Structure 1
Amino acid sequence: MERASSWLLQLLLFLAAIRLARAAPQVPCYFVFGDSLVDNGNNNDIVSLARANYPPYGIDFEGGATGRFSNGLTTVDAISRLLGFDNYIPAYAGATNDQLLTGVNFASAAAGIRDETGQQLGARISFGGQLQNYQSAVQQLVSILGDEDSATNHLSQCIFTVGMGSNDYLNNYFMPAIYPTSQQYTQEQYADVLLDQYSQQLRTLYNNGARKVALMGVGQVGCSPNELAQQSTNGVTCVERINSAIQIFNRRLVGLVDEFNTLPGAHFTYINTYGIFEDILRAPGAHGLKVTNRSGCCGVGRNNGQVTCLPFQTPCANRNEYLFWDAFHPTEAANVVVGRRAYSAATPSDVHPVDLRTLAQR
């Protein structure tokens, strides 16, 4: 009990510190690519079930329901403050030219490496679409800074985080009634297909100025409340069939990082999100969390496949003790743990080869 209370105090002090931080950023800009784990509003104005711009989402966020799939901070919000940014990195949708200089968030809920991933949820911006938006942003930066050399130099100093792949499993491979991929490929073959496409996409990012790039591994999707409810034998044991497939992808992703680090000027790294969540699940109390019933903090609906929070429902009061906020997405408390360990590795296995604090200094 004392250990949990001590951790809670540390969490509160950490949140206060990053919200009050006014130090100069360690890098001039931070660009974010990903899915609903880090989307902060790009899906708000598109026709999609994958939206979170309504209460109780954002109940603990100073801006309210902005489109973040959390009660408060996302992982990249925590990272941005640890990097020294005064403001959270804004969504690309509606971003100003001044904001482009310090970085924007291109992430879109339900997005995947594959273009068809998540299509049953409606509109979304796949990783390919996010890269197109990034290329448009680069051209704007060239205009703002005056020439391509200035833009190239500016971007080479920025941090980029890319977190893709979760939906390619959750909303594609393990949804055989809608997608044929699990009939077409074994788990090993699917990981190879995904990584081949991902590699090409990341090369586009590199060719457009990105040099300091952190690839976020796919987390333990098989331990999410939705998968426990739908596929676990007892509602508590994680779904090994899903997690084993994700581990294959993650292992190949580490190899991809090593390949990219052979390119001129490239500094790629891997963030072991899977392992960090495994630590939390193994000893939630050590992180100030309770994962007793493996449920989300907010009430969720399942009509038409929707597993997001029911609008305006009152969530649990002890949100800081929960790992999951809704059927898939972590709470602010869990996001802060992941963000902190991505920025400053707690164990050697958290990152490969370096954490974000070290990457910023490269």
Structure 2
Amino acid sequence: MESYLRKWCLVSMLVMFLSLGLMIKAEPQVPCYFIFGDSLVDNGNNNRLISVARADYFPYGIDLGRPTGRFSNGKTTVDELAILLGFDNYIPAYSDVSGEQILQGVNYASAAAGIREETGQQLGQRITFSGQVQNYKSTVSQVVQILGDENTAADYLSKCIYTIGMGSNDYLNNYFMPQSYSTSRQYNPDQYADDLISRYYNQLNDLYRYGARKFALVGIGAIGCSPNALAQGSPDGRTCVERINSANRIFNNKLKSMVNRLNNNRADAKFTYINAYGVFQDIISNPSQYGFTDTNTACCGVGRNGGQLTCLPGQPPCLNRDEHVFWDAFHPTDAANTIIAQRSYQAQSSSDVYPIDISTLAQL
């Protein structure tokens, strides 16, 4: 009996300690996380805009329980990154955030946004990269008010992670849309990438002046492999459109070079390049390795491969979403987003990031 009681007490104490451990919240690896980008990471900023580029209706968000404005069946890459960085919740949209919520970070991303001001204008309202930077400046003013003075705020912001993923729409909804934009007649692909990088550089310097010090710059994905590109320009509906991918690689190479330049010029900051293009190509080339069976058709959409239009309101999506790389004509599924985020956070290959992954950036 005595032996039984001792065992019972030990088990009870173990359960109590485990329960206490579950109640103790782990601190995030960084105090805050700020996000800039387009529809790949927009989590609701376009919901209140007069725009075609909105995802606040079913079936978007089907695996989150409701449509939130995310262009996915579930999480985006930055949602997964927030989890990996140790945050209890996803980073809130700028349109929804209030009060001391901003101290954990803000998502400024806007669907159809580009580096160039005119990019995406045919889709309606959107918050351009420069507009997102202006919104961040407003946030910084609020952070200063909450924390009490500029020096304290600067020290706080210097420890935060900033991910920026811009440029996709400057190709999708500008350069490769000659019926609406003249840029492809004004610039060859190399010149156009130079123009984008120059504008990008100026906006990054603005973020730096307002406290940002830990930057992860996300390259453009393989846009020429999206269901939309396949529907528009692939002869067999499966082969990626090299004309588009080639232009994307030119931009990414210049973005990577800009990371070097910024690291050399800003000794008190750290910039890294996230090779989303390479990771995405790996997923498409080796789908079974990641549990995918479909790399070229969308889970919902209209037309060839679901690539002509994005999800229609109320349209039932495919049931095997975790086996699809693409959710709609342009955007990856939750499953693909998770893999891209995981390899951005902790590089699986030396080519995934340059020079460091986000987990290392967080520790600096």
Moved over 4 A (4+): none
Higher RCO by CA contacts (8 Å cutoff, separation 6 or greater): 1
Distance in structure 2 (CA, Å) of the matches to 1:299 and 1:189: 34
Corresponding residue of 1:355: 357
Report if the CA contact (8 A) 1:301-1:310 is conserved: no
Aligned to 1:117: 119
Describe how 1:1-362 pairs up with structure 2 within 5 A: 22-62=25-65, 64-262=66-264, 263-291=266-294, 294-300=296-302, 307-362=309-364
Deviation of 1:123 (Å): 0.3
Farther off after superposition, 93-102 or 172-181:
93-102
Q: Secondary structure at the match of 1:32?
A: strand
Are the counterparts in 2 of residues 92 and 105 from structure 1 also a CA contact under 8 Å? Answer: yes
Change (3 A) 1:70 1:22: farther
Equivalent position SS for 1:80: helix
Q: Residue type of the partner of 1:40?
A: N
Contact between 2:228 and 2:308, CA under 8 Å: does it hold in 1? no
Conservation of the 8 A alpha-carbon contact between 2:301 and 2:309: no
Paired with 1:310 and 1:169, the residues of 2 have a C-alpha distance of 24
> Cα RMSD between the aligned structures?
1.5
Secondary structure at the counterpart of residue 295 of structure 1: strand
TM-score by length of 2: 0.91
Structure 2 contact 301–308 (Cα < 8 Å) conserved: no
Query: Shift of the alpha carbon at 1:84?
Result: 0.2
Distance in 1 of aligned mates of 2:313 and 2:173:
23
- Say which SS state the counterpart of residue 257 (structure 1) adopts: helix
Shift of residue 56, structure 1, vs aligned partner: 0.3
Quick one: structure 1 residues 286 and 22, their matched pair in 2 at CA, closer, same or farther if it must change by over 3 Å?
A: farther
The 3-state SS of whatever aligns with 2:294 is coil
AA aligned opposite 2:70: R
TM-superposed CA distance for 1:24, in Å, is: 1.3
* Structure 1 residue matching 2:297: 3-state secondary structure: coil
Report the Cα distance in structure 2 between the residues aligned to 1:195 and 1:157, rounded to whole angstroms. 25
Give the CA deviation at 1:232.
0.9
Residue identity opposite 1:37 in structure 2: L
CA distance, structure 2, for counterparts of residue 168 and residue 301 of structure 1: 24
State, as a whole percentage, how many aligned pairs show the same letter: 63
SS at match of 1:349: coil
Contact 1:161 1:213 in 2 (8 A): yes
C-alpha displacement at 1:321, in angstroms? 0.4
Q: Is the 8 A contact 1:298 1:314 kept in 2?
A: yes
What SS does structure 2 have at the residue aligned with 1:41? coil
Q: Which amino acid aligns with 1:312?
A: G
Using the TM superposition, give the Cα deviation of residue 21 of structure 1 relative to its aligned residue in structure 2, in angstroms: 11
State the SS of the aligned residue for 1:161. strand
Aligned equivalents of 2:152, 2:233: Cα separation in 1: 52
Residues 22/77 of structure 1: CA separation in 2 closer, same or farther (3 Å cut)? farther
Cα deviation code 1:221-274 (max 9, x no counterpart): 000001100111211110000000000000000011111112131111000000
Equivalent position amino acid for 1:55 in 2: F
Task: Provide Cα deviations, 1:11-55, integer angstroms capped at 9, x if missing partner.
Answer: xxxxxxxxx995210000000000000000000001000000010
Whichever residue aligns with residue 112 of structure 1, its letter is G
3-state DSSP class of the match of 1:354? coil
**2:63·2:74 contact (CA, 8 Å) conserved in 1?**
yes
SS in 1 for 2:327: coil
SS at match of 2:336: helix
Gaps of 5+ in 1: 1-19
Output the TM-score relative to the length of structure 1: 0.92
Letter of the aligned partner of 2:280 in structure 1?
A: F
Q: Secondary structure at the match of 2:163?
A: strand
Return the offset for 1:94: 2.2
Q: Which has the larger radius of gyration?
A: 2
1:160-217 Cα offsets, whole Å, 9 max, x none, are 0000000000100000000000000000000001101110111101111000000000
CA distance in 2, matches of 1:202, 1:307: 33
Q: Distance in 1 between matches of 2:241 and 2:67?
A: 31
Output the CA distance in 1 between the equivalents of 2:324 and 2:175: 28
